[in-house]
Chains A and B, each alone.
Chain A
Amino acid sequence: MKGLAPADVDSLLRRIAQRDQAAFRTLYELSARRVYAFLLHRFRQESLVEEVVSDTLLHVWKNPDAFRGDSAFSTWLLGVARNKMLERVRHQNARATEELDDADEDLLVEDTTPEDVAAMRQRSEGVRECLELLPAEQRECIHLAYYEGWTLEEIGAQMSLKKETVGTRIFYARKKIQACLAALLARERGQQGAPV
């Protein structure tokens, strides 16, 4: 899901450089939701996220030449958004990054079963809840890998991590979601089967 074609990006940025507001609106329509989804998965601070989406796209409006085409436009844009959000979070004296020790993860490493697949398909609300329980940096890896389709190298470059570390984080995040969904389903079944 890399988004806009390079030719479309070039054309829109050229028009934006000429202060074409219709082009800016088109770019906003095509990009803002993805930036929003990324930031919300990563930082969860809904009130800030909308402001940072706006700041990120305004950065493009003010500096249409800042994108040099060294990566896909969406990759660059999410990088701008991430930095702006981190600046805001630091400004609020919040903890900007979470140090994770993947070795501390206490999870049974089991194969994915057909029950896990069925649980994933059935439980939309549960998936959301389980994602919320992940540490921020695992959610970020999961979002970039599964929704944006980035490679481990690309995610590593964005987050200043080794690709192996990214792989480990995704692996544990996936297992945590499976365990969380299985627990949710077991709780539901227990409640359904309990005598009234």
Chain B
Amino acid sequence: MIPSFEELSRRSVSGELSAPEREALEKYLREDPRLRAEHDWDEAFHAKLDEKIGSMPAMPGWERTQAALRAQAEAPRPAGILDRVSERLSAWLGFPFNAQAVAAVLVVIQAGVIGVYAWQLHVTDYSDVRGSQPDAMGRAASLRVSFKPDVREADMRNALAEIDGEIVGGPGQLGVYLVRIKESNPATAAQRLRARGITVLVEIVGKGR
């Protein structure tokens, strides 16, 4: 069922319409100039809301949150699963069995299980594994990108879509992403990204540097 004009108009200005809904809205607007005025008002109102919200702090409450995280990190840590397993083993075996020993035993068991599976599957040809990674990284260049703190997610997505880029790593501690691009000329992609004015850093890495 096609929603009412009012609902279509509101959701249209916040970019939420599917293709059939957009068509239905266009039909309403073509047929009635009064609805066109309603829709224009909705668009103008959404723009004002966007403007107002865009001027709000980018990370409200972050300092308080960091303080809470620090306090949490300093609080006594509850016993982890390895600690609990080692306690049980110690009680069962009658001698101390620390968490590191439990971890080492688990690693040995895991390696054994993987070895058995590999043997069962007769995995002798690793060409797919060898081929995929260098091929993907060899043909495409990458960019190191860091965005300004107040940039909206939608703007980041649009910028990446424009250069046909895909985030393959990050963000690191400094907020730097690794973006793989299909663009044949990475310098052009980097230039386009910088031109949007939403980045702090755009640096070409890999092939094409």
Which A residues have a C-beta under 8 Å from some C-beta of B? 1-4, 21-22, 24-26, 28-30, 32-34, 36-37, 40, 49-54, 57-58, 61, 111-114, 116-117, 120-121, 124, 127-128, 143, 145-149, 151-152, 167, 170-171, 174, 177-178
Is A58 touching B68 in the complex (CB atoms < 8 A)? yes
- Per the CB 8 Å criterion, the residue count for chain B at the interface is 44
Which B residues have a C-beta under 8 Å from some C-beta of A? 3, 6-7, 10-11, 13-16, 34, 37-38, 40-42, 44-53, 56-62, 64-65, 68-69, 149-150, 153-154, 171-173, 175
- State which of A24, A113, A121 has its C-beta within 8 Å of the C-beta of B44: A121
Is A117 touching B61 in the complex (CB atoms < 8 A)? no
Q: How many A-B residue pairs have CB under 8 A?
A: 130
Chain A contact residues, majority secondary structure? helix
Is A57 touching B58 in the complex (CB atoms < 8 A)? no
Chain B residues whose CB sits within 8 angstroms of the CB of A52 once the complex forms: 61
- The smallest C-beta distance from B69 to any residue of chain A, in angstroms, reads 7
- State which of A36, A49, A121, A146 has its C-beta within 8 Å of the C-beta of B42: A146
**Contact A112:B41 (CB < 8 A) given known A29-B58, A51-B61, A151-B7:** yes
Please measure, in the bound complex, the distance between the C-alpha atom of A140 and the C-alpha atom of B133, giving whole angstroms.
49
- The smallest C-beta distance from B159 to any residue of chain A, in angstroms, reads 15
- State which of A29, A51, A120 has its C-beta within 8 Å of the C-beta of B64: A51
Chain B contact residues, majority secondary structure? helix
Is B45 touching A127 in the complex (CB atoms < 8 A)? yes
Please measure, in the bound complex, the distance between the C-alpha atom of A190 and the C-alpha atom of B137, giving whole angstroms.
67
Please measure, in the bound complex, the distance between the C-alpha atom of A99 and the C-alpha atom of B65, giving whole angstroms.
34
Specify which of A51, A145, A148 lies most central, judged by the most chain B CB atoms within 10 Å of its CB: A145
- The smallest C-beta distance from A113 to any residue of chain B, in angstroms, reads 6
Is A28 touching B65 in the complex (CB atoms < 8 A)? yes
Chain A residues whose CB sits within 8 angstroms of the CB of B51 once the complex forms: 124
Chain B residues whose CB sits within 8 angstroms of the CB of A167 once the complex forms: 6-7
- State which of A34, A50, A146 has its C-beta within 8 Å of the C-beta of B10: A146
**Contact A116:B65 (CB < 8 A) given known A1-B14, A36-B60:** no
